[in-house]
A = this chain, B = another copy of it.
Amino acid sequence: MGKKVGLTLDNVIDVAATIADRDGLEAASLRAVADELGIKTPSLYNHVAGLAGLRRELALHAARQMSEVVAEAAGSDTPEEILRRTARSYRRFALDHPGLYSALLPAPKPGEDDDLYAAMAAPVTTLADTLVAAGVDEQQTTHLIRTLRAVVHGFIDLEMKDGFGMPEEVDVSFERSVDLVIEGVLSGAK
């Protein structure tokens, strides 16, 4: 039968990411990915360490893309604008790639998977630098970043899982949520 199809890890990840974004992370099973690639499930083990490995690769893939997206947003004028654009980009990525975004949680423990941990920490680090550069007290940044992350992630998660009743004006709500927090963060402890 078919031998040496010439499959690469990137190939596997791309297919898995597509399925995850289309049908949800759960749907990106080894079976589904293998079928889509035209191979049998066990053959995937030559590229990926089982389902857990596939999930890990997806998380890494997502973290890298997210880092790029967030890095692009860092090229603005004022700190407010940087934070606003970062938040918007973050949400846009999540809505465009719900499967990949889901793969981003849970995070690994600090000592457990250094590569993944570093990749996931990158956007947060960028944000931290921005805040410090804006004159925010370094002691406070930890708390402030947590607030920002909480608002943005919470909003996205509720939005994706349909936790909001009325479907309209969600964009407006997001803008207001982000503005409110940014304002509070930058004025409160400068």
Give residues in A with beta carbon < 8 Å to B. 105-107, 109-110, 121, 124, 142-143, 146-147, 149-155, 157-158, 161-166, 169-170, 172-173, 176-177, 180-181, 183-185, 188
Contact = CB atoms under 8 A, between A and B. Distances in A.
B154 A173 contact: no
Contacts of A183: 184
Nearest to A166: B142
Contact of A147 (B110, B149, B151): B151
A150 B147 contact: no
12 contacts: A107-B161, A107-B163, A147-B151, A147-B173, A147-B180, A149-B154, A149-B158, A150-B152, A151-B154, A153-B154, A154-B155, A184-B184
Contact of A180 (B106, B155, B181): B181
Residue of A124, A166, A173 most packed against chain B (CB within 10 A): A173
A180 B184 contact: yes
Residue of A142, A143, A146, A180 most packed against chain B (CB within 10 A): A146
Contacts of A158: 105, 146, 149-150, 153
A157 B157 contact: yes
A109 B161 CA distance: 10
